[in-house]
A and B are shown apart, each in its own frame.
Chain A
Amino acid sequence: MARWEYDGPILEIDKLSISFFTQRGEIPAVMDFSCVVEPGEAMGLVGESGCGKSTVALGVMMDLGVNGRIVGGSIKFKGRDLSTMTNEELRDIRGSEIAMIYQEPMASLNPAMKIGKQLMEVPMIHDGTSQEEAYKLALDVVESVRLPDPARILNSYPHQLSGGQQQRIVIAMALMSKPSLLILDEPTTALDVTVEAGIVDLVKELGEKYGTSMLFISHNLGLVLETCDRLCVMYSGEAVETGSIEDVFNKMRHPYTQGLFRSIPLPGADKNARPLISIPGNFPLPHERPPGCNFGPRCNYFEAGRCDAQDILMDVIEGDDRHASRCLKFQEVDWGAEVEAAEQTEATEPGEVVLNIQGMKKYYEVSASSMFGGGETRTVKANEEVNIEAREAETVALVGESGCGKSTLARVLLGLETKTDGTAEMKGREIGDIETTERDNNTLRSIQMVFQNPFDTLNPSQKVGTQIIRVLEKFGIGGSESERHKRMLELLDLVKLPREFSERMPRQLSGGQKQRIGIARAFAGEPDVVVADEPVSALDVSVQAAVTELLMDIQRKARTTMLFISHDLSIVRYLSDKVVVMYLGHIVEQGDTESVFSPPYHPYTEALLSAVPIADTSVTKKHVVLEGDIPSAINPPPGCPFQTRCAWKDRVPGDLCEREVPKMREMRSGNAIKCHLGDNILAEMEPVIVVSDGKAEVPAAKPAAKKAPAKAAKPAAKSSDGPAMPKAATLMDAGEDVSDSTKANQEEEKAPAAPRGKSTATKATAAKEPAAKAAASPDTSAEDKNRPPQMDKPSDPDNLKLISGVGPKLEGVLNGLGIYKFEQISKWKKAEREWVDGYLKFKGRIDRDDWVKQAKALAKGGAEEYEKVFGKKPR
């Protein structure tokens, strides 16, 4: 066996460089990459596509293919250099010591082999266990990844499982041999958000249970925040910044990291007041990298003659926990400076109703055999009772997971399908019945679409210019060829692309540029309605912001009505005026963006909001994980479509949910909800997303006053749950400069939330107990024996962040435990330290970082004393 004992880090990558050798010569994919993964630690690798993050993973697996070669540096796994191992040794390690989970679950499973056999192979090959033992182990593992009916699962083929279940099986397979290191390469990208939330939860839990180290590769900063302890940001083959989650998220020291955070829609961003700031320019191709800093040409702080003069090395940032940045100027740049506000715009006033859909239905007939007719036909109810009204210049977002019917709705509006029942009117004219081939030119022109996949949206064998001119020809714009040519060039200007692009073929364009052409094409005929089907979801983060801004800019100027289809609630919140949430063909909730994003929610909206990862350490989310998968639209559940996964179902008396489809109900807050829950129960709902810094969370803050009295009744009933917490302390950043009024407002809002304890207090705790609602378990009191003494919030709380190892997030958690002063920490005994350590799942980090000694120094003489004892300034 290849297992050996080693005390040091699980994985040490030192100055790794990997190149691919092709016909064009050497292409460096990874350069000077270093990282260390300690036992039990989860390391996140973040970057855009093509930045080399997957190459690092393949390098660790020593699976670079025929073209790839390690050209410098070393990869040490448990102290042994992987590149010196023989093929036999490597084969022994792969799958037993290092396991990898890939993006596409179906591609990782052998479709011709039963799940059980595939799982049993792992211990049988690596440990030579007997068949019976292996089967038992497989049963255990399948159970631990929380799949129902393990015996049946083991006896089925991969295609009989859903995507989420398949990914759980892949995770189970990786865990069969209890690996020391688990590499996850975008494990949830192919899954729906609510399913993703379940998988992320599982990965975290298993990591803690088995103490496995993880290398988590993702393009999604929010996901990394939820799963990892440390992260490494990569750009164009290099690591540009690495450090603990708290350090990198809150005190980023590289312009690229900063740019990334500014270009993702975090709660609080607003399309008019605080628009996103995109990173200018494009990602350099591997053979076109600039000299010096790779990010230089796109960087705001670029200094010619300095940044492009030499190769730039990683530089450690003093005082932080292994925090380093690949930037020459990180000490000079004022990182706290307010973002240079991008152009602010006035909110547009919506005008007349342009699109009016009432009671629209779309059913598909699916027959068993198309060849000879016969066989029974089954009906897929893709849309059921859809009512939407959209006004001029308004953005209406359609939100839901795959299979919810949002794309079908779009197809009906565009005439690619015809409706079954109801009405769909545009400017008073019925359009739901008319197919594209029968529509007149004016109707065609006035409703257009922006498609999702940039690689699919343009005809690959026609020049870009020709394709736009064809649209103009079709819509009869411009009298002559030269006029149309001129108009085409103007359209290129409109989407901010150089005019030369008209002569290019689509394959010469990047994804973002193709999407811009798609937008130009959609707006060529000056349409009244544009349906945008996930227009940016396939683009890289840094490009997303630019394309989103462009789309909204054109829409704003042309006063176009936009139907924005998306599964990404962050972006929906950012840009839409109205939100429509769909589930299994039904609209389950709709209303103004503000009212939909604040309670009362439909239970599905609540789950959806909770599932979306948010890349902000100051955000705390309520933890709702849905069980199971979306039911099939061919065989929908009776009654309420959401009843099979609803967490609130038991609050509805009788079996009403299973019998009747609920009616749409107007709420006082302005949204309409399709749910049987009583008003009093809906009123109990708490906001899912809570931001704890001074910037008032716009949508959540407004309705707070209205709801506070309704919720106030609850604490009494639930106050026995969980550890008692001081009022509103959970999430407040004592050290932050918060104006009194906002603070008061937030306290009022959060006060009732606090006593629910573990379920809302911190994500760390919530993750531990998936059934967080039943937090009041008998053993809490036993655990609490060692709990450090707590205090009410003093008027002058200490800035706990001065302790190295405590970030704003942890400070919030500590405050939640009633700890505000250095003195308190300095008095912790071993038992108490262990209690807090266990509570935070730190695996001894408190002792390692020696919080008590730091706190003692700080309590005694503040920063000066600290400097005397430790020889450096506190943070």
Chain B
Amino acid sequence: MEPLSSGAIAITIIQLFWPTWLSLVIVFAVSIYFKDVLGLYGKLFNSWVGMIGLGLVLFWVFTALWADYIATFDPIEQISGMKNKKPGTPARGVEDAWYLLGGDNLARDVFSRMVYGSQEVLKIAPAATLFAFMVGITLGLPAGYYTGRLDTFLSFLANLVLAFPVILLFYLLVTKEIVQTGIPMYLAAVLFLFPIIFLLTLFKTKFIANQRTLVITWALTLVLGLWAYSGLAFNADPLGVWTMDPNLLNIFVSVVFVNSPTVFRIVRGLTLDIKTRDYVAAAQTRGEGAWYIMLWEILPNARGPLIVDFCLRIGYTTILLGTLGFFGLGVSPESPDWGSTINDGRKLLSIYPHPALPPAFALMSLVLGLNLLADGLREQSLKD
């Protein structure tokens, strides 16, 4: 078979992404049709910036989802003779198949690795950010609401974490010796408790006059939460559904650990501002508990800045994960994640630029999309 020309490569790649395109078209069509009843998300479709951002983000989300249908090869499959081959080279010994973006120095398909890499990134970044938010919110709300000694103490802790060099912290947390002491696991044990506590207080305060709903929501939260908790933090899920690779757990915990102090500070600042509002005073004068006020009077009204920060933070986390992968921290050597792939390609960059560039562009476009999405959300939420 003949090698493909650049035009043919582009066309083939675009064709391969058909499940992503189809999903994008459906989501956009439905969203635009119903945009008036979709609140802030619907308003996003009034701004070009927001739409482009959302499009880029959704592109990678759907790519991760349909990776099995898009990718042409297995991400770790090596085909002899394909080492460092140029983009468009036909795969040796396979009918009708090309290494569309060339082969890397271990003769794996760069294109397929990029597609599967999106899975790795999107598996960790949003979840880690969500956990960081749970921790930051659960600690930031009381710090801002009660102030005083509690606030002084928590802020001091946050500053302590923030003052420590992040990369060094990561190196420490994933070092074998440290892992053996069990510190990351204990950290996980503490950090993963926060979402459960958060949800329990949320329901407790809301359904004060409705015992039945309260019992149901509590039972659900406790069963599901503790089940997942046992699996994720201690790898001791009796059913084996919830499990996390120890390496991945390290990374996850580290990312949550360094992100939550920043979230804490944002939430604390917003709380300090919002607690002076009259509706908070009104809630106090009708005898609402402190946690009800924090979770139902203050938090919902801080959502604007928090949603924007959430999007930006997924972007930072993605870059952070890329950096970690680049340093070879915490991910298995064969992992197709973008950071490791860039690092692998780096060594021969001057001779073969093609293995490093696609994951770099992928990373860039995803983070750009997240930033644009955040901009769009900010712009639209301010208009309200």
Contact = CB atoms under 8 A, between A and B. Distances in A.
B287 A436 contact: yes
A415 interface: yes
B263 to A, nearest CB: 20
B27 interface: no
A437 B290 contact: yes
Contact of A459 (B46, B208, B297): B297
Interface string B270-287: 000000011101111111
B300 to A, nearest CB: 4
Interface string A451-464: 11100111111100
Interface string B55-78: 000000000000000000000000
Interface of B: 46, 147-148, 152, 208-210, 277-279, 281-290, 296-297, 300-301, 303, 384
Contact of A473 (B208, B285, B300): B208
A437 B209 CA distance: 17
Given A370-B152, A459-B301, A451 B282 contact: yes
Interface of A: 23, 370-371, 414-416, 436-437, 439, 441, 444, 447-449, 451-453, 456-462, 470-471, 473-475, 481, 507, 518, 521, 525
Given A370-B152, A371-B152, A459-B301, A451 B288 contact: no
B282 A441 contact: no
Nearest to A440: B287
B278 A457 contact: yes
Contacts of B284: 414-416, 436-437
Contacts of B287: 436-437, 439, 441, 444, 474
Contacts of B289: 437
Given A370-B152, A439-B287, A461-B300, A456 B46 contact: no
A444 B286 contact: yes
Contact of A449 (B147, B282, B288, B301): B282
B290 A449 contact: no
B285 A456 contact: no
Contacts of A460: 279, 301
B279 A458 contact: yes
Nearest to B383: A23
A452 B278 contact: yes
B96 to A, nearest CB: 50
* Cβ-closest 8 pairs across A and B: A461-B300, A451-B278, A456-B278, A473-B209, A444-B287, A459-B279, A457-B278, A436-B284
A511 to B, nearest CB: 13
Choose among A414, A452, A461 the residue with the greatest number of B CB atoms under 10 Å from its CB.
A461
Given A416-B281, A456-B277, A456-B279, A461 B286 contact: no
A852 to B, nearest CB: 60
Contacts of A457: 278-279, 282
Choose among A436, A452, A453 the residue with the greatest number of B CB atoms under 10 Å from its CB.
A436
Nearest to B281: A416
Given A416-B281, A457-B279, A460-B301, 20 more contacts: A370-B152, A371-B152, A414-B284, A415-B285, A416-B284, A416-B285, A436-B285, A437-B289, A437-B290, A444-B285, A448-B286, A449-B281, A451-B282, A453-B278, A456-B278, A457-B282, A459-B279, A459-B283, A459-B296, A460-B279
A382 to B, nearest CB: 16
A536 to B, nearest CB: 15
A521 B283 CA distance: 11
A521 B286 CA distance: 10
B41 to A, nearest CB: 15
B146 to A, nearest CB: 12
A684 B283 CA distance: 50
A521 B152 contact: no
Nearest to B298: A459
A157 B286 CA distance: 43
A153 B284 CA distance: 43
A459 B295 CA distance: 12
Nearest to A456: B278
Contacts of A459: 279, 283, 296-297, 300-301
A415 B46 CA distance: 46
Nearest to B284: A436
Choose among B278, B284, B296, B303 the residue with the greatest number of A CB atoms under 10 Å from its CB.
B278
A471 B283 CA distance: 9
Contacts of B303: 461
Contact of A451 (B152, B281, B290): B281
A796 B277 CA distance: 62
Contact of B286 (A370, A475, A518): A475
A475 B287 CA distance: 9
Contacts of A437: 284, 287, 289-290
Nearest to A435: B284
B303 to A, nearest CB: 7
A453 B209 CA distance: 29
Contacts of B279: 456-460
B285 A471 contact: no
A262 B377 CA distance: 46
Contacts of B300: 459, 461-462
A525 B286 CA distance: 10
